[in-house]
């Protein structure tokens, strides 16, 4: 791979400095960096453990090999850290952001997020998983005597809010401390693309495992996959399709990651950027794919939408998710006293809609189905 040199040293978020500060000052650890400590705090959080019980794309009902949000998160962390290392960025910060990037996701994957957002819109509010993730690490995780939340560094909190899109100060005055209206550091920008790389490839894999996608279909419609599949199939006649598929998928993942590394380097050079200030002021996000790979990425994503995410097999699950969330939301809004006391106590301060959404968003798939069953029993008593 040409040009494997790191970016100018000033582009990485430094280990010490304003971005490594915490809301409640703590003494430095003798041998762990502030961002390494944040990785530890996220991994040891209850919300992180719950990712094991949350749908990525498929529920676990079909196969033990489907990704959960937890294993997806680990794949994103692996990819993001590799990219950060290739560019000489802050690896520990990148890893902390990857570990936290899906911590605010509700149960039932994107269908769950949509349903929760719809329920909140009926109350004049919105659900945003990045802002919810911030509430988790700031308010809901309580393991420290001295403060509420995890007391993460400013860089990690900023990245949790801004890794996937920028917020305007006008619309979100409460986010003022997170440099709104300015670009986040590259460590945060690259998380969203590492996420894309992880799920584009993983969803092809899980889609095959679920027998919703076929190899022929993928070869015919995902050019970036076929680019690698055709030559190795030619040089390995008689090799099992399963192995050829895995080999091509690996090469596709590497191609996406390589392209991202090179395109970030190219943009940094093109804009003459030397430091973090330059990244913050850049006219565009600097973490991006090249024009050609971006086109192929879109093609792959469109293929997944048409043939997997919107397939009849998954739609059934989506409808169930929407119904469960809508009914639970309505039941607790009608009678918030049915919430567990620790949540009910927040209603006066936060309003019932936000508290109910917070409670639902934190649930695993299993727990929300249990809650739904018990609410149904209370609301519609069985006649048997």
Least CB distance to Mg ion at residue 54 (A): 11
Does 38 sit near Mg ion (CB under 5 A)? no
Considering the rule CB under 5 A, would residue 195 count as an interface residue with Mg ion? yes
User: Minimum distance from CB of 324 to Mg ion (Å)?
Assistant: 22
User: Helices 312-334 and 352-361, interaxial angle, to 10°?
Assistant: 140
The residue among 110 and 266 lying less far from Mg ion, judged by its C-beta, is 110
DSSP state of 283: S
Q: 134 vs 331, which CB is nearer to Mg ion?
A: 134
Q: What is the DSSP string of 70-137?
A: HHHHHHHHHHHHHHHHHHT--HHHHHHHHHHTTTT--SSHHHHHHHHHHHHHTTT----HHHHHHHII
- Smaller CB separation from Mg ion, 96 or 328: 96
Residues in contact with Mg ion, shown as a per-residue x/- string from 309 to 348 under the rule CB under 5 A: ----------------------------------------
Question: At residue 288, what are phi and psi to the nearest 5 degrees?
Answer: -160, 165
Chain residues 48-107 in contact with Mg ion, contact rule CB under 5 A: 102
- Under the binding rule (CB under 5 A), the answer on residue 203 touching Mg ion is no
Near Mg ion in 271-290, by CB under 5 A: none
Piece of the chain touching Mg ion by CB under 5 A; list 149-157, 193-201, 217-225, 344-352? 193-201
Q: Which of 362, 353, 360, 351 is nearest to 328 (CA)?
A: 360
Q: Provide φ and ψ at 319, rounded to 5°.
A: -65, -40
192 binds Mg ion (CB under 5 A): no
Q: Shortest distance, CB of residue 198 to Mg ion, whole angstroms?
A: 7
Close Cβ partners of 8 (under 8 Å, ≥ 6 residues apart): 268, 273, 274, 275
Residues that bind Mg ion (CB under 5 A): 102, 195
């Amino acid at each position: 791979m040409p040009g494997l040199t790191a970016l100018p040293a000033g582009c990485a978020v430094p280990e010490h400095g304003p971005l490594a500060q915490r809301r409640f000052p703590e003494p430095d650890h003798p041998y762990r960096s502030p961002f390494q400590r944040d990785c530890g705090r996220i991994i040891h959080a209850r919300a992180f453990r719950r990712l094991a019980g949350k749908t990525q794309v498929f529920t676990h009902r079909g196969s033990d090999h489907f990704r959960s949000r937890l294993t997806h998160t680990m794949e994103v962390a692996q990819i993001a850290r590799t990219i950060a290392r290739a560019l000489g960025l802050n690896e520990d910060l990148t890893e902390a952001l990857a570990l936290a990037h899906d911590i605010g996701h509700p149960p039932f994957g994107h269908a769950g997020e949509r349903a929760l957002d719809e329920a909140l819109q009926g109350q004049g509010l919105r659900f945003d998983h990045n802002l919810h993730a911030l509430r988790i690490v700031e308010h809901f995780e309580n393991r420290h005597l001295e403060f509420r939340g995890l007391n993460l560094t400013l860089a990690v909190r900023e990245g949790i809010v801004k890794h996937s899109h920028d917020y305007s100060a006008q619309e979100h005055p409460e986010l003022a401390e997170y440099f709104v209206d300015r670009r986040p550091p590259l460590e945060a920008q690259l998380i969203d693309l590492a996420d894309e790389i992880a799920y584009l490839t993983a969803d092809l894999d899980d889609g095959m495992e679920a027998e919703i996608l076929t190899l022929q279909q993928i070869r015919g419609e995902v050019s970036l996959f076929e680019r690698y599949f055709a030559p190795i199939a030619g040089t390995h006649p008689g090799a099992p399709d399963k192995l050829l598929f895995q080999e091509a998928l690996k090469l596709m993942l590497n191609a996406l990651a390589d392209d991202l590394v090179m395109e970030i380097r190219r943009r940094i050079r093109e804009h003459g950027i030397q430091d973090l200030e330059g990244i913050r002021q850049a006219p565009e996000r600097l973490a991006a794919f090249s024009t050609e790979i971006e086109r192929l990425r879109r093609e792959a994503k469109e293929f997944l939408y048409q043939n997997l995410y919107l397939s009849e097999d998954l739609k059934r699950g989506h409808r169930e998710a929407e119904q469960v969330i809508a009914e639970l939301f309505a039941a607790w809004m009608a009678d918030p006293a049915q919430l567990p006391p620790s949540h009910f106590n927040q209603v006066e301060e936060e309003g019932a809609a936000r508290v109910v959404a917070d409670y639902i968003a934190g649930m695993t798939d299993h727990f929300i189905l249990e809650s739904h069953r018990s609410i149904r029993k209370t609301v519609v008593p069985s006649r048997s």
